[in-house]
C-alpha cells in the first residue's frame, strides 16, 4: 500500500492494530483538537525530498528554486530554505511571503505571466530577478525599466504533464516566447538597453519520465547560444510524484545525471560555467502532506454508495480540476474487506468528488479518511467557496512535535474584508 511508503520515510505516521496514527495520536482525536478537515505535513519527508534532489546533481552552479505555488505556507518555506533551496515566485504575494520566510532577494526568481506594470515595479523595488513571458511584456518592462537586467521565458516547443490543463510548452499554451521570435527579443532588448541575463522554461507539471524535460532543456541550451552574456538558465519544474500505488516514480538520480551531462556540455560549448536552476514544487512537498477528513454520511443508492465527508473541492481542488487520483486510507481500518465507494465532499456541486468507485474497507459515519499526497496544490488552491472555512495546517516535526502552522479559518474571516455602506461588516 502507498501509505507504507510514507511510513518508511517518516516516524510521524504509524499503523497500530490496523489504525492509522499520526505522531502516535488517533486521527479522530486530532480532528477534535484542530477541527476537521485538517492538513498534516511531515517535516522528514520535505527534508528528504530536498536532499534527494540536491544530491542528484553535482554541477557546481546548480540551484533548486522551490516553486512556492505548490504550497506557500511560511513554516514549510522556512524548512525548505534551511535545506538550501531558493524560490520561484509568480506574484507580489509570493514575493512577500518568500521574504517573510527569510529568502534573500538573490534567492527569489519572479517567473511572471501577464502581469501589470505595478507587479514588475514591486519586484524591481525588491531587487528581485524577473523573467517576462511575452514580447509585449518585454516592451512594457523595457519602457519602464530601460537599462535593466531581465530574463525571458521561452516556449521550447515541447510540453509534458499529467493533464492538458498543466502542459505549458508546445503549441497549445499561453506560456513563453515562441522560438521563432528570438530576433524580436533581441530587437526589444536593444531598443531599451536591456541585458538578457537569463532564459527560463517550464514545460508542464507532474511528468514521471524525464525524456521530454531533458529534450526541452537541450532545446533551451541551444537557444541560449544566441545570447552572449547569460548568467543563468532555468529549465523549470514539473518533476512528478507517484500518486498511484504501483506506478513507477520519477527516477531522480537518472534525471540528475542527465542534468549534469546537459549543464557540463553547455558550459564547454558556451565557454563559461553559468548557473543552472530547476523549479520543482510538487516533488518537494506533495508526499509530505495528508488531508484528514471526517465522514458525515453514507448513502446507498441502487447503483452507487456515496461516502460524504467534510472536505470538498474548496479544500482539495485537484480531483475536481484535473480528475486527479489521490490514494485514500481508512484510518480506523487500514486493511479490510473492500467495497466499492464514491467519496464526495460537502460542496453544492455534483462534481464535488474526491474519488469515484474506489475499493475501500467498509466506511461508516464518523470514520476518518486520510487523503494521501495532498501537500502540493492542496491548501494553496483552497478557497472559501460555499462560505466554507479553510482548514488548519499541522506540521509534525522531525523531532515528533506537533505544531499548528496555520489556524483554521473562523466565521469572521469570511467577512473581514467586506464593507457595507463603507463600513466593516459584523
Ligand atoms: C513556471 C512554473 N514553474 C514551476 C512550476 C512547478 O511545477 P511542479 O509543482 O509540477 O514542479 C510551475 C507549476 O505550475 C510553474 O508554472
Q: Is the CB of 378 under 6 A from ligand 1?
A: no
Whole-Å CA distances, 362 to 19, 27, 368, 369: 14, 17, 12, 11
Q: Is the CB of 279 under 6 A from ligand 1?
A: yes
Q: In which residue are the cell numbers 499561453 written?
A: 174
Three-point CA angle 315, 318, 324, nearest 5° = 140
What are the sequence ranges of the domains in the chain? Answer: 2-42+286-414, 44-284
Report pLDDT for 164: 85
Instruction: Give the pairing of strands 289-300 and 368-371.
Output: antiparallel
Q: Is the CB of 237 under 6 A from ligand 1?
A: yes
Q: Known catalytic residue: 221?
A: no
Q: Would you state the torsion angle of the CA atoms of residues 121, 221, 237, 107, taken in this order, to the nearest 10 degrees?
A: -40
Pick from 65, 69, 80, 111 the residue to mutate for probing ligand 1's pocket: most ligand atoms within 8 Å of its CB: 69
Report pLDDT for 167: 84
389 CA distance to ligand 1 middle (Å)? 27
Report pLDDT for 171: 84
**Residue of 68, 151, 142 whose CA lies nearest to 103:** 68
How many DSSP H helices and E strands does the chain contain?
12, 23
Report pLDDT for 264: 98
Q: Is the CB of 206 under 6 A from ligand 1?
A: yes
- Bridge partners (DSSP) listed for residue 239: 207
- Of the candidate CATH numbers 3.40.50.1980, 3.20.20.10, 3.90.650.10, 3.30.1380.20, the domain formed by 44-284 belongs to 3.20.20.10
- Three-state DSSP class for residue 406: strand
pLDDT band for position 245 (50/70/90)?
Answer: confident
**Which cell goes with 106?**
538573490
146 CA distance to ligand 1 middle (Å)? 29
Average pLDDT over residues 103-114: 97
pLDDT band for position 99 (50/70/90)?
Answer: very high
Q: In which residue are the cell numbers 457595507 written?
A: 420
Taking the complete model, does pTM exceed 0.95, yes or no? Answer: yes
- Tell the residue nearest (CA) to atom 4 of ligand 1: 237
Q: Is the CB of 112 under 6 A from ligand 1?
A: no
Evaluate whether 369 touches 329 at the Cβ level (below 8 Å): yes
Residue 162 has pLDDT above 90, yes or no: no
Q: Is the CB of 201 under 6 A from ligand 1?
A: no
Percent of the chain whose predicted confidence (pLDDT) is above 90: 93
Residue 276 has pLDDT above 90, yes or no: yes
pLDDT band for position 159 (50/70/90)?
Answer: confident
Mean pLDDT of the chain: 96
CATH class of the region 2-42+286-414:
mainly beta
By CB atoms closer than 10 A (0-12, 13-18, 19+), residue 303 is exposed
Evaluate whether 308 touches 46 at the Cβ level (below 8 Å): no
Average pLDDT over residues 276-292: 98
- Point out the ligand 1 atom lying closest to the alpha carbon of residue 376: 9
| 3-class SS shares of the chain: helix, strand, coil, % to 5 | 35, 25, 40
Amino acid at each position: 500500500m502507498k501509505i507504507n511508503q510514507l511510513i518508511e520515510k517518516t516516524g510521524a505516521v504509524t499503523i497500530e492494530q490496523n489504525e492509522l496514527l499520526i505522531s502516535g495520536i488517533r486521527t479522530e482525536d486530532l480532528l477534535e483538537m484542530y477541527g476537521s478537515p485538517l492538513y498534516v505535513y511531515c517535516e522528514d519527508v520535505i527534508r528528504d525530498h530536498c536532499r534527494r534532489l540536491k544530491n542528484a546533481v553535482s554541477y557546481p552552479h546548480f540551484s533548486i528554486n522551490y516553486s512556492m505555488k505548490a504550497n506557500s505556507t511560511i513554516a514549510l518555506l522556512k524548512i525548505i530554505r534551511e535545506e538550501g533551496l531558493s524560490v520561484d515566485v509568480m506574484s507580489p504575494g509570493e514575493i512577500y511571503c518568500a521574504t517573510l520566510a527569510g529568502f534573500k532577494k538573490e534567492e527569489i526568481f519572479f517567473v511572471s505571466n501577464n502581469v501589470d506594470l505595478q507587479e514588475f515595479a514591486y519586484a524591481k523595488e525588491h531587487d528581485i530577478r524577473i523573467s517576462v513571458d511575452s514580447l509585449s511584456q518585454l516592451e512594457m518592462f523595457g519602457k519602464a525599466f530601460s537599462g535593466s537586467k531581465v530574463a525571458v521565458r521561452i516556449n521550447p516547443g515541447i510540453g509534458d504533464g499529467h493533464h492538458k490543463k498543466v502542459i505549458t510548452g508546445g503549441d497549445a499554451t499561453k506560456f513563453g516566447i515562441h522560438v521563432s521570435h528570438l530576433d524580436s527579443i533581441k530587437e526589444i532588448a536593444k531598443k531599451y538597453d536591456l541585458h538578457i541575463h537569463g532564459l527560463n522554461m517550464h514545460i508542464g507539471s507532474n511528468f514521471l519520465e524525464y525524456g521530454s524535460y531533458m529534450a526541452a532543456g537541450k532545446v533551451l541550451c541551444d537557444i541560449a547560444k544566441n545570447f552572449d552574456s547569460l548568467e543563468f538558465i532555468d529549465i523549470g519544474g514539473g518533476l512528478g510524484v507517484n500518486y498511484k500505488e504501483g506506478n513507477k516514480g520519477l527516477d531522480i538520480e537518472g534525471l540528475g545525471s542527465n542534468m549534469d551531462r546537459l549543464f557540463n556540455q553547455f558550459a564547454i560549448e558556451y565557454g563559461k560555467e553559468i548557473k543552472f536552476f530547476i523549479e520543482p514544487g510538487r516533488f518537494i512537498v506533495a508526499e509530505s502532506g495528508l488531508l484528514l477528513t471526517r465522514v458525515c454520511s453514507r448513502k446507498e443508492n441502487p447503483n452507487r454508495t456515496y461516502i460524504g465527508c467534510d472536505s470538498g473541492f474548496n479544500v482539495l481542488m485537484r480531483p475536481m480540476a484535473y480528475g486527479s487520483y489521490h490514494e485514500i486510507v481508512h484510518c480506523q481500518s487500514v486493511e479490510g474487506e473492500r467495497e466499492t465507494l464514491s467519496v464526495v465532499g460537502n460542496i453544492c456541486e455534483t462534481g464535488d468528488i474526491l474519488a469515484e468507485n474506489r475499493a475501500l474497507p467498509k466506511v461508516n459515519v464518523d470514520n476518518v479518511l486520510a487523503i494521501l499526497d495532498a501537500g502540493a496544490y492542496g491548501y494553496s488552491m483552497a478557497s472559501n467557496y460555499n462560505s466554507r472555512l479553510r482548514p488548519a495546517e499541522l506540521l509534525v516535526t522531525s523531532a515528533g512535535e506537533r505544531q499548528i502552522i496555520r489556524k483554521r479559518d473562523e466565521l469572521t474571516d469570511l467577512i473581514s474584508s467586506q464593507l457595507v455602506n463603507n463600513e466593516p461588516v459584523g
